[in-house]
Amino acid sequence: MMSKAVKESKEVVKYVQKSEKAEPKFSFYINIHVLDKKQLIKAAVDSSKMVPKFMSDFTASLGASVVSDESIIGQITDELLKEFPAEMEKAGVLTEFEQVFTKGTMAVLRCSIMSIDFAKAIRAEKGEEGIMHYQNMIDGMKYFDMSDDEIASTMGEVELDMLKEFPEEIGNELKAEFEKEGLKVNVECKTEEEQAKFLFDYMKEHMS
């Protein structure tokens, strides 16, 4: 007999709209700008100071007195490109990351969200109680005689709302990593619609 947990998970998946094409469901950009290169180098070579976890392999390469801007930002983005997809997948989100721009100590990564495992994502964020409330929402729509197509459409809107929260959540997570160590690194996450204007204005103000 199918367990209640498995049945609920299947119900959640049933109403997630899937695309046959390998097109991203949602994309956004992560803008990373190292504001104080000397401070970052000092933190990395100072063995008495903890550095952000994604810089753990960075210390050996920063012993030289002169380190290029490209090396500074490259080490950070390389680690993010390597680690972030796996971390996101643990939370039920399949992503693709690509570095699309670099200038000086600034880089831009594009994050494409390819799919979401709702059951896994809800459990990662809210636990089993979250799954229960999600199932109750679906049961409520069935109670009011909504068709499967209508429920799928509504769940598609819920999914889109969830996707739109990712830029702010990831931006805050990265900012917290840097701020925790007192490092001056600016992080701004923008949607595809916002990115072009943001990058133009930001570079004009900070890098001209």
What's the pLDDT at 63? 46
Inside any domain, residue 5: no
Inside any domain, residue 40: yes
CA diameter of the chain: 70
Inside any domain, residue 90: yes
Pair 170, 30: CB distance under 8 Å: yes
0.85 cut: is pTM over it? no
8-state DSSP, 117: -
With 0-12 / 13-18 / 19 or more C-beta atoms within 10 angstroms meaning exposed / middle / buried, residue 65 is exposed
Q: Which residues pair with 34 in a beta bridge?
A: 185
What's the pLDDT at 47? 47
Residues of the chain with confidence (pLDDT) below 50: 1-3, 5-10, 13-14, 16-20, 47-50, 56, 59-60, 63-65
Inside any domain, residue 152: no
Find the CATH number of the domain harbouring 90: 3.30.70
Range of the domain at 42: 21-115+164-206
Residues 95-136: tens digit of each pLDDT: 999 999 999 999 999 999 999 888 788 888 788 888 898 889
What's the pLDDT at 65? 43
Structural domain count of the chain: 1
Three-class SS state of 2: coil
What's the pLDDT at 44? 62
Distance CA 133, CA 17 (A): 20
Q: For residue 84, give the nearest of 61, 107, 103, 109 by alpha carbon.
A: 109
